[in-house]
Structure 1
Amino acid sequence: MRLSKIKLAGFKSFVDPTTIPFPSNRVCVVGPNGCGKSNVIDAVRWVMGESSAKNLRGGAMTDVIFNGSGGRKPVEQATVELWFEEVTIPPYQENGELAIKRLLTRDGDSQYFINNERCRRKDITDLFLGTGLGPRSYAIVEQGMISRFIEAKPDELRVFLEEAAGISKYKERRKETEQRMAQTRDNLDRLNDLREELSKQIDKLKRQAREAERFQELKQSETLLKAQLDAIRWHELNMAVQDMQQQIDEKAIVLQEDLLTLQALQETHQAQRVARLDAQTHLETIQAQFYTIDSEVKRLEQTLEHGKERYEQLQWDLEQLDDSVNETQNQWQTDKDQAETLSSDIAETEAYLEELQETEIQTESALQDAEADAQTWQTTWEEFTQRANEPTQRAQIERTRLHSMEQRVEHNRQRLDRLDTEHQQIDVQSLELALQALETEMADVQTEWQEAEALLAAHQETVLQLREETQQLSAELHEKSALVHQLSGRLASLEALQEAALGKNNADLDAWLHVQGLDNVPHLSQALNVDAGWEQAVEMVLDKQLNALCINKLDEHATALQKPPQGQFMLVTADKFTANVNDSHPTWTPLLDKITTTLSLDSFLSSIWAANDLNTALAMRPHLSANESIITPQSVWLGTNWLHCRQGKDEKTGMIGREQEINRIASQLEALDQAVLVLNQTVEQKRIHLREMEGQRDHIQQRVNQVRQRFSELQSQQGGKQARLEAVCTQLQRVEREKSELTNQINQDESDIAETRHNLHIALAEMEQLADERDRLSTQKAHAQEVTLQSRQAWQTAREARHQVEMTLGTQRTNFARLQQAIERLQERLNQLQEQRHDLQKNLEKQIDPTETLHGELAAYQEKQAESAETLRQAKQTVEHLEHAMTDYEEQRRVLETRSSELRTILEQLRIDSQAKAVRKQTLDEKFALSDFSPIALVGELPEYADETSWVAQIEAVERKLERIGAVNMAALAEYEQEAQRKQYMDEQWTDLTSALEQLDNAIRTIDRETRSRFKQTVESVNATLQVTFPKLFGGGEARLELTSDDLLKAGVAIMARPPGKRNSTIHLLSGGEKALTALSMVFAIFELNPAPFCMLDEVDAPLDDTNVGRYSELIKAMSERVQIIFISHNKIAMEVANQLMGVTMQEAGVSRLVSVDINEAVDMVGV
C-alpha cells in the first residue's frame, strides 16, 4: 500500500482545493519558512484521527480551518482526503484503492469517511493498527518529534515498538477487555444483591400466586365450559342446518327430477303425436292396399269360376261372352256413378277436416298460451318467493341478532359494574406515598453508602499503596539479601583461592608469623593497584614476589630471621630508596607506571618497559640494554636475546585481579549490610502502618457492608413496591381501558340494537306488503290453472273430432280408391273379355284349358291378401297403442304438476327454518371468532354424552366455587411470574457473566502471551537492525535497546547510544545532532522490521551538518527502495536525492499553493 495523493481544501493555509501527488517513492517538499510545508504533515496526522489541537500546533480543533487572510474570507469547513493505491488491507484489497477523508465544520462537527462512506474515528484508527500508520506513529516524524522521541520516557518509547510489533491492537483489545471485566464484576455484585432480594420477594408472592392461580384456573374452566356449551349449541345448530340442507337438497333433487320427467313426458308426447299421425297415414295406406288385393282375389275367384265353366263349356262361354261384356259394362257404369257420389262426399269431408284442423290449431295455441301464462305465473311466483323469503330471513336474522346484542349489553353492564367496584378498591396514592418515603430513605442511605465507599476507597488505596510499597521494599530487601548471600559466597571463594595462592596453608610458617606479629600484615599482591589489562603482565614479572609480606622495617625482624621457619617466604619493606632513573628511553613507558602502590618496587621493575602489543615490543627490542626487558598485556616478556610467554593459568594467575575483586566485593558487602539493616527497619515500620490501615479499612468495610445491606433491603422493598405500584397502575389502566372499551361497546351495541330494531320493523313491513301480493298471485294461480284445464279439454275435443273425421275421410278415400280401381279393373275386364273372346276363339281352335294359370294367380293374390290383412291389423294396433299412451301422458302430467307444487311449498319452509338456524349458528361463529376457541376442536374434545343441560349444571357449579373464593389479588400471579422470570433472567445473566469473565481471562492470557512473544521478537529484531543503521549514520559506534524490567508486558524501553570515540552511557548525554541521528537510526530500524506504507519526515535534518546530512540522504535513498519516503527539508544535499520536488509557495499572503518539479525531467531539460 502506498500513498498516491493528498487532497486538501480549507485546511490551514491550503484554502483552495489542492491535490498533492506522490508519483514516486522519494518526494521532497520544499519552500521558505512559513509557507505551509508542515501543514502537509499536519493534514496527514489530522485525517488519521488526531484529536489533540496541541499536536496540530493549534489551540482548538477548529483552528485547522482556514481563518481568512488580508484578501480572503474565512471558510466554514476543512477537508483532507488521503488516497492509497496497491491496498492490501482487507476488505479493500479487491479494488486496490482506498480513500479516507475527514471533514470538520466550525460548529465542531467532525465527520470521517472511508471510500466516501460515513464511518467512525475508531474505524480509521483500527484500520491502520499494526501497520505503523496513525496520528502519533513512528511513520510521521515532525519538527520537535526527534527531541520528544529521544527524551521520551521508557513507557512512551515502548509505544513505538508496540506499533512496530503490531501489538498496539492487542494492547487496545486488552484495555477494552479489562474494562469489560471491571464492568462484568460490578454487574456480578449488583446481580448477586438483586438475586438475594428477589428470592425473598418471590417466596412472599408465591403464596398469593397460588390463590390467584386457583382463581384463574376456575375462570379458565368457566370460560372453557361456556365455550364448550356454545360449541354444543353450535354443533346442534350445525347438524340441524346440515340435515335441513340435506332435506332441501333431496327435495330439490326430487323437484328437479319431476320437472325433468315432466319435460321428458312433454317431449315424448310431442313425439307420440307425430308418431300417431304417421301411424294413421300408414294405416290408411295399408288399408287401401288391402282393399285392392281383396278386389283382385274376388275377381280371380270369379274369373276362375267362369273360366272353368267356359273351359268345360267353351262353346257355351263363348256364347255367353257377349253377355258378360254387357254385364261388365253395366257394372262399370254403376261403379262410376258411386265414385262420383263418393268424390263429392270426400270433398265435403275434406272441407270439414280443414275446419277441424283449424279448430285444433286454435285450441292448441290457446293451450300453449295458457301453459305459457301458467309458466309465467310460476316464474313470477318463484321470484316472489325469493323476494318474500328475503325479508322473512332478514326479520329472523334481525330477531336473533337483537336477542344476542341485548344479552351482550346486559353482560357488559354487569362487567362494567364489577370494574367500577374494582376501580374503587385500587389505591394508588398510598402506594406512591410509601414509595416516595422509601426513595427518600434510599437516597439518604445511598449518600451514606457513597461517603463510606469513598472513605473505604481512600483507605483501600492507602492499603494498596502501603502493600505495594511493602512488597517493593520486601522485594528489594530480598534482592539485596540474596545479593549479600551471593557476594558473601563469592568473597569466601575468592579469599580461599587467594589464601591458597599466597601459601597460607603452611602451618610452621603461620606459627612463626604469628609469633612475630606478622600474621595480619598484607601480602604484596594485596598492596598493588594495577591498571586494567596489565594484571597478568605484572603477575608474570613479579611472580613469587606477589606472596611477599609487607613490613615496615626489615631490621626489626633480624633476630627472628636467624632461625627462619621451614619453607619459603619473602619480606618487602616500605622503605624508600633513591633509585637510579633510567632515562635512556624517554619515550618508553615503564611497567611501574601501570602500578599504583605505597611500596617501592624499583628493585623489581626499574628496568622493565611496557608495550601495548607484541609488534611494538619487537620494534623496541633492538634498543634494549642487557639488563632491560619489555612485557605486553598479553604476558609476552622479552629481552635482548630471550622471550618468555605464559598463556595458561595456574593458582598464581589472577592474584592481583582477584585481590582487587575481593576488595570491591568487601566494599559492596559493607554497603549492602547497611542497606539491608535500613530496609529491615523500613519494612517493619511499613508493615505496622499497613496493619493499622487494614484494621481501619476492615472497620469501614463492615460499615459499608451494613449500609449496602440496608440499601439492598430498601432497594428490594422499593423494587417490590415499585413492582406493586406498576402492577396496580397496570391494573388501573386495564380497568379504565376495559371500562372505556365496555362503555364504547355498550354504546355501540345500543346503537346497533336500535338499528336492528329499525331493520326488523322494515322487514316486518315488507312482509305485510308481500302478503297482499301473495294473495293476488294465488288468485292468478287458480285462474291460470282453470284456463289451462279448459284449453286442454277444448284442444283434446278438437283433436278427437279431427281424428274421427280423418278416419272417415280415410275410409271414403279408400272406398273411392277402391271404386276407381274397380272401374279400372272393369275397364280392363272389358278389354280382357275382348281379348278373352279372341283368345277363346283361339283356344277353342286349339282346345287349350286355362284353369291352371288362374289357380296359380289366385293363390298368389290370396297370399298377398293374408299378408296385407296382418299388416293392417298391426297398423291398427299401433294407432290404438299411441292413443292409449297419449291418454297416460295426460294423467302422469297432472300427477307430476301436483307433486311439484307440494315440493315447492315444502322447500320454502325448509329454507326459512334453515336460514333461522344458520343465523343463530352465525352468531355463535362470531362469538367464537372473538375468542381463542375453535368450535370444531371443542366438539371433537367433548365426550359422547355431552349435552346442553349437563354443561349448564357444570358452569353453575364453577360459578359457585368462584363465589366461595372471594376477592383475589390477581396482580400477585403476574408479579410472581414477572419476578420469577426476572430471577431466571438474572440467574442466566449471572451464568453468562461468569462465563464471560472466564472468556475474558482467557482472552487476556492469550493477548499477554502474544504480546510478550511479539514484543520480545521486536526488541531483538530492532536491536539487531539498530546495530546496522546506527553505524551507518554515525560512521561507527554502537547503540542498543534495553528493557527497564523483566516484565515484557510493562517494561519500558531505553536507548543506549555510544558514538565513535565516546563512552556515553545514555542518550541524554548526546548533543542535539547526535540525538537526531540516534532517533533516525531508531526510526529506520523500526522501518526495517515493520515498514509502514510511507514515512513522512519534517525537517529532521535541521540539526545535522553536511556530512551527516549526506549519510542521512543515502539512508533515505536506500530505504526508498522498499518504503515511500516523503520528507520536508531546507538542505540542498537532502533535496538532491529526491525524485520529485513539491514546492509550497505563499505568493498570496496566508494562502499556500503547490509547485511540483520532476528532477529527472529537469535534468533532461538542462542536458538539452
Structure 2
Amino acid sequence: MRLSKIKLAGFKSFVDSTTIPFPSNRVCVVGPNGCGKSNVIDAVRWVMGESSAKNLRGGAMTDVIFNGSGGRKPVDQASVELWFEAVTIPPYHETGELAIKRLLTRDGDSQYFINGERCRRKDITDLFLGTGLGPRSYAIVEQGMISRFIEAKPDELRVFLEEAAGISKYKERRKETEQRMAQTRDNLDRLNDLREELSKQLEKLKRQAREAERFQELKHSETLLKAQLDAIRWHELNLAVQDMQQQIDEKAIVLQEDLLTLQSLQETHQSQRAARTDAQTHLETVQTQFYTVDSEIKRLEQTIEHGKERFEQLQWDLEQLEDSIQETQSQWQTDKEQAETLNADIAETENYLAELQEAEQQAEITLQEAEADAHTWQMTWEEFTQRANEPTQRAQIERTRLHSLEQRVEQNRQRLQRFENEQQHIDVHSLETALQALESEMADVQADWQEAEALLSAHQETVLQLRDETQQLSAELHEKSAQVHQLSGRLASLEALQEAALGKNNADLEAWLHVQGLDNATHLAQKLTVATGWEQAVEMVLDNYLNALCVNELSDYANALQKPPQGQFMLVSANNHASTASATTIHPTWIRLRDKVTTDLPIESFLHSIWVADDLNTALSMRTQLTATESIITPQGIWLGANWLHCRQGKDEKTGMIGREQEINRIAKQLETLDQAVLHLNQTVEQKRIQLREIEGQRDQVQQRVNQVRQHFSALQSQQGGKQARVEAVRAQLNRIQSEKAELIQQINQDESDIVETRTSLHAALAEMEQLADEREDLNAKKSRAQEITLQSRQAWQTAREARHQVEMTLGTHRTNFSRLQQAIERLEDRLSQLHEQRNDLQKNLEKQVDPTETLHQDLSVYQEKRSEIEETLRQAKQTVEHLEQAMTHYEEQRRILENRSGELRAVLEQLRIDSQAKAVRKQTLDERFAQSEFSPIALVGELPEYADEASWVAQIDAVERKLERIGAVNMAALAEYEQESQRKQYMDEQWTDLTDALEQLENAIRTIDRETRSRFKQTVDSVNATLQVTFPKLFGGGEARLELTSDDLLKAGVAIMARPPGKRNSTIHLLSGGEKALTALSMVFAIFELNPAPFCMLDEVDAPLDDTNVGRYSELIKAMSERVQIIFISHNKIAMEVANQLMGVTMQEAGVSRLVSVDINEAVGMVA
C-alpha cells in the first residue's frame, strides 16, 4: 500500500484546493522557510485522527482552518483527503483503493470519511493499527521529534516498539477488554442485586398467584353454579308455567262447558218461566172464576148474612195480594238499589281503572326515564373511564421516562469517567454458528408449533361446532318435549270429553261389553272421516249412532242380547246386508251427505237418502223435489224433509264429537311423530355429547402438546434472544463509536432538562388523577342512585300493572252481576203488573153489592155444578203450577251449583293466571339475566344430572362462598405479574449466564493477548536490536547501539537506547551531540522500518542538524529504504534533494497562501541533456 496523493482545501495556508501527488517512492518537498512545507506533514497527522492542537502547532483545533490573509477572507471549513493505492487492508483490498478524509468546520464539528462514507475517528485509527501509521507513529517524523525520540522515557519509547511489533492493536483491545470486564462485573453486581430482589418478589408473587388462581377457580365455580341454579329454577318455572297453562286450558274448557250448560239451562228456565207464568195466570183466572162462583153460592146459601163473610174473604184475598205486591215491590226495590249500587261501583271502578291505567303508563314512563338515566350514567362512566385512563397512563409513561432519563444520566456520567476507546476486535464466529444452529432448531420447533396450533384450532372449531349442534339439538329436544307435554295434556282432555260423549261411564254396560270382548271395540265416530265444514251436519243426522260399536256380524251377539245390560247401546255391522237403490238417477246433480263421509263401514242405511245444500235458502228451494223418504241438510245442521224441519242449537256432550275425534287422531299422529323425533333427538344429543367428550379429550392432548412445544419454543426463543443479544452486543462492540465528551455533556444537560419537564408533567398528571378521583366518587354515587330509582320504578310499574289487572277482573264481575240484576228487575216488574191487575179485579168485586133474590135456590144448583167443574180445573191448574215450580226449583238448584262451580273455576283460573304470570315474570327475569351472561339455560339444563335440585345447588354455592370468604383479599394481578416477573427472572438468569460466559471469554482473551504481546514484543526488541547494530554503524561509520529493557516483565518493561559513536564511551545517550542524537534516532527509525515497514515514511527536515558527510550517509540510507518503503521527506539540503525522484516545491508568492510547484528530476535531466 502506498500514498498516491493528498488533497487539501482550507487547511492552514493551503486555502485553495490543492492536490499533492506522490508518483514515486522518493519525493522531496522543498521551499523557503515559512512557505507551508510542514503543513503537509500536519495535514497527514490531522487526517489520521490527531486531536491535540498542540501537536499541530496550534492553540485550538479550529486553528487548522485558513484564518485569512491580507487579500483573502477566512474560510469556514478545512478538509484533507489521503488517497492510497495497492491497498492490502481488508475489506478494501478487493478494489485496491482507499481514501480517508477529515472535514472540520468553525463550530468545531469534525467529520471523518472512508471512501466517501462517513465514519468515526476510531474507525480510521483502528484501520491503521499495527501498520506503523497513525497520528503519532514512528512513520511520521517531524521537526523536534528526533530529540524527543531519543530523550523519550523508556515507557514512551516502548510505544514505538509496540507499534513496530504490531501489538498496539492488541494493547488497545486489552484495554477495551479490561473496560468491558469492569462494566461486566458492574453489571453482574447490579444483576445479582436484581436477581436476589426479584427472587424474593417471585416467592411472594407465587403465593399470591396460587391464591389468585384458586380464587379464579372458585369464582368460576361460583358463576357456573349460580348459572346452573338459575337454570334449575328456570327449568322448574318453565315446567310450572307449562303445567299451569295446561291447567288453565283444561279449566277454561270446563268453565266454557259449564257456561254453555248454564246458558242452556237459562234458555230452558226462560221457557219454564213463561210456562209457569201462563199456568199461574190460568190458575189465577180459574181461581177467580172459582171465587166468583163460590161467592155466588155462598151468597145464595148464606144470603145477606153470609155476604159479610164473603166481603171479609175478598178483603183477606186483597190483603194477601197486597202482601204479595209489597213483597214483590220490596224485592224489586232491593234489586233496583243493588243495580244502582253496582252501576255506581262499575262507574267508580271504570274511573279507578282509568286512573290505574294512567298510573301504569306513568310508572312505565318513569321506568323508561330511569332506565334512560341509567344508560346516560353508563355512557358518562365510559367517557370518564377513558378520560381517567389518560392521566394514569400519562403518569406511568412519565414515571418510566423519568426513571429512564435518570438512569441514562447516571450511565452517561459513568461513561464520561470511562471516556476511552472501546474494544474493536472480537471473534463472533462461534457465537454466530451457535446462533444459526439455535435458529434452525427454532424453525423446526416453530413448524411443529404451527402444525400443533393448526390441529388445535381444527379441534377447537370442531368442539365449538359440536357444542353449537348439541345446544341446538337440546333446544329442539326441549321444544319438542314441551310440545309433547302440551299435546299430551290436550289429548287427555279431548279423550276425556270423547269418552264422556261416547257413554263410557256406565259401569254395567262396560262390564257386559268386557264380557263380550267389546270393551276395546271401535265406535262409529272413530271410523268416520268427514269433509271439512260438514261435521255438524253428520253429527245431526247420526246423533246417537255415533256411539255405536263396530262389530263384524250382529248375529254373533244374538245370545248375549237375550239378557241385555242396563242402559242404551248400539252395534253396527261391518257387513252390509241391505240393498239400497240409487237415488242419483232422480237427482243427478245433487250431492249426498254420504259423499262427504269417508269410512270403510256400510253407513248407507244411515245416510242413503240425505242430500246436502250449501245454505238454508238452497235447501228450501230443493225441498219441493224431495220424496217422502228423502231429506236435505245444511252444513249448519238444519235438516229438512218434504214437510218437516229439524234444527238443534246449543251444545251437548255429542256436539263436536267427529271434529274432536279427528283432532284426537291428528294429535295422536303428531305425538307419535314427536315421540320418534324426541327419541331420535335424545340419541343424537347423546351421540353428540360422546363425540364432544372424545374431541375435547383429543383437543386437551393437542393442547398439552401445544403447551409443551410453546414452552420449548419460548425456552429456545429466550436462548436465541440471549445469544442474539450477545452477538449483537459483540457486533455493536465492533461497530460502535463512543461519542465525544462534549456530546455526552450535551446529552446529560438535555436529559436533565427533560427530567425537569418530565417531573412537571408527572406532577400535573398526578394532580389530574386526584381531581378525577372526586369525580369517580360522584359518578359512583350517581350510579347507586340511578340503580335504586330504576329498581323502585320497576317495582312501581309492576305493582300498578297488577293493580290494574285486579281491577279489570273486579269490573268484569260487577258487570256480570249488574246484567243478572237487570234481568231479575224485569221479571219482578212483570210480576208486579200481574199482581196489580188481580188487585183491581178484587177491588171491583168488593165494590159490587150483593142483591139476593128469590131465584137464589134455583141458581144454587147451577152454581154448585159450575163450582165442581171449576174446582177440577183449579186442581189441575195447581198441579201444573206445582210441577212447574218444582222444575224451576230444580233449575235454580242446578243453576246455583253451576254458578258456584263456575265462580270457583273463575277464581281458580284467575289464581292460576296470577300464579302463572308471577312465574312467567320470574322466568322472564331469569331469561334477561341469562341474556346478559354467556350461558344458555337450555344447554345448562341439558348438562345437569338428573338428581340436580335447587337445595343441593344452593348448598354448593354457600360452600364456595365460604371458601371465597376464607381466602379473603386477593391480588388478581398476581398471575400476570408472576408470569411477567418469571420471564424477567429467566431473562436475567440468561443474562447472568451470558455475562459470566462473556467475562470468562474476556479473561481468556486477555490471557491470549498477554501471551501474544509478550511473544511479539520480545521478538520485536530482539529484531530491532539486530537491525540497529547494522544501521547505526552505517550512519556513524562505526560504533555500536542496542536496546535494553528496564525490567523482566515484558508487559510493562520500558525500553532504553544505549548508543556509542565511534571512539566514544559515553555512559548515557543524553551526552551525545545534536547531530549524533539525530543519527541515533534515524538509526532507530530505520531499524524499525526494516522490521515492520509502514506504507510510507514522512521526514520533516530531520537532516537539519547533520553535516554534509552525515547527510550523504542519510541520503544513501533513504535511497536504500525507498526500494521497500515510500519516502516523503522535507529538506533544505541539496545533497538530500539529489536522491529524490520528484521535487514538490511549496511557494508563497501570495502572502499567507501556499501553492505547489512540482518537478520531475528525470524529466528535467532529460531536458538539460
TM-score by length of 1: 0.39
| Higher radius of gyration, 1 or 2 | 1
TM-score by length of 2: 0.39
